[in-house]
Amino acid sequence: MQLKIFKRNYILFYLPLLVLPMLAGCGQKKAAGKGGYGGFAVNVVAEAVKQEKIEDKIFLVGTLAADEAIEIKNEVSGVIEKIGFDEGQAVKKGQMLFTIDASKLNASLSQTEANLHLAQTTFDRLSSLIKAGAVSQQEFDQAKSDLDAKKAEVDLMKAQLEETVILASFDGVVGERKASIGQYVSQGTKLTYLIRQDPMKAEFRVPERYLGQLKEGQDIEVTVAAYSNEKFDGQVYFIDPRVEEQTRTALVKAKVPNKEAKLRTGMFANLDLIVSVRQEALVVSERALIPQADDIYIFVVDSESKAQKKLVKVGVRLAGKAEITEGLSVGENVIVEGYQKIGPGSAVKIKETKDEKTPAQ
């Protein structure tokens, strides 16, 4: 009997001691839900949602080519008499590049012009005689045919003489010289080449799945190994209407300004093809993103300095930043540090912003 009374008194004495810590713990958890532990506001770092220009890009590789490129060859055989450029020199349209000795052609032209004069005299004489019936129509027609042939020979000789002076077809840069003064060159010999390298062409192949996003006039950014820290801007001007069956790609070309002549024919190029631009996209720091299963959440600070959890949709990801397509408005303060300590409705105190290091308003 005494043992039972002792047990009952023992339980009654210690039961409050066991229950009180549990009640205190519940109070702390409730307080943590509305603020920090003990009901205090939690210090957090927040940044304002900003508007920035966002570009959707396709990353490709390609090759650079000159806007215009031709091989300089001679139309007539002969000995090179003059050279009017230095290798690698910029030249103007119409500038003399090579002159071939024309002394033999001039002699041939003199002989052909003498034959033309004789044919003209014969034709004039028969023209007066045929009216009197002194010569046959056949003789007159033969004289006219001879005259026309001699005129054609003279025109041909003059054209060949013009071809002894080889001129630049357009403004550009001449390449390596393949012939020297005094050298005999037969017709069709490659003497040098001429290229126009401003602008340059960027040629690349685009997978067919991206063709619906392409159009003429789209911007591209080009980088090359020789100038790895520099970007060259250009625009698409050609999209091949055919898709190559084996690779399922289409050839695309863009013009890239090259005033400083840094880009050269044959260079390997990395290309960023800009398929769309959003001038006022909403952007936040990637540190604000809270992935949960298949969703992304962000804590924002409301007008009462309380944290609110929002479901957002993320667009393009950039270096350290992310585009938000749904769920936020420009100017809202998003928490980038300290959200691990809070929950929806928690009281927060913005410690500093990333850029200004001052309390957010």
pLDDT digits (tens, 9 = 90+) for 146-188: 889 989 988 888 888 889 999 999 999 999 999 999 999 999 9
Same CATH fold, 74-192 and 34-49+289-361?
no
Q: Which band of pLDDT confidence, cut at 50, 70 and 90, is reported for residue 269? A: very high
Tell me the CATH architecture of domain 34-49+289-361.
Beta Barrel (2.40)
Q: What is the pLDDT of residue 313?
A: 92
Per-residue pLDDT, averaged over 297-311, amounts to 91
Q: Could you tell me what percent of the chain has a pLDDT over 70?
A: 86
Q: What is the pLDDT of residue 25?
A: 45
Give the contacts of 279 (CB within 8 A, at least 6 positions apart): 53
Q: Which one is the CATH code of 58-67+197-278: 2.160.10.10, 2.40.30.170, 3.40.190.290, 1.10.10.10?
A: 2.40.30.170
Domain segments of the chain: what residues?
A: 34-49+289-361, 58-67+197-278, 74-192
Q: Which residues of 177-213 are buried (b: 16+ CB within 10 A; e: fewer)?
A: bebeeeeebeeeeebbbbbbbbbbbbbbbbeeeeeee
The domain defined by 74-192 carries CATH number 2.40.50.100: yes
The pLDDT tens digits for 127-144 are 888 777 777 888 888 888
Omega within 30 of 0 (cis) for the link into 199: yes
